[in-house]
Amino acid sequence: MDLNTSLATQSYAQARAAVPPKTGGSGPGPLFEQAASSFVDAVKAGEDVAKSAMTGKADPHALVQALAQSELAIETAVTVRNKVVEAYQEILRMPV
């Protein structure tokens, strides 16, 4: 068993050195950044309309519409978070 572990470690070290790391480029980072900024914008828009409605500057229809969009953005963010946590827990359950 120790021999297999040693061979696996050596093979991994050799393969790791042979493949150069990717720098910059098109990874999931820009997509997450765009999604996060879109979420923040949706929530801010809802807050702005709610403040305007409290002072009487916005009609109730616009308030309901903005709150529905904010609610949808929050539900989407929570669903994504739950999926990420679920995937992480699944990785932790994998045998090593």
Reduced to 3 states, what is the DSSP secondary structure of residue 25?
A: coil
Q: What is the pLDDT of residues 16-49, one digit of tens each?
A: 666 666 665 566 788 888 888 999 999 999 999 9
Question: 45 Cβ partners below 8 Å, 6+ apart?
Answer: 66, 69, 70
Over 60: is that where the pLDDT of 69 sits? yes
At 71, the pLDDT band (50, 70, 90 cuts) reads very high
Please tell me whether the overall predicted TM-score, pTM, comes out greater than 0.75 for this model: no
Query: What gap in Å lies between CA 78 and CA 66, rounded to an integer?
Result: 18
What DSSP designation does 59 have?
Answer: -
Q: CB neighbours (10 Å) of residue 91? A: 8
Over 60: is that where the pLDDT of 2 sits? no
Contact 69, 46 (CB under 8 A): yes
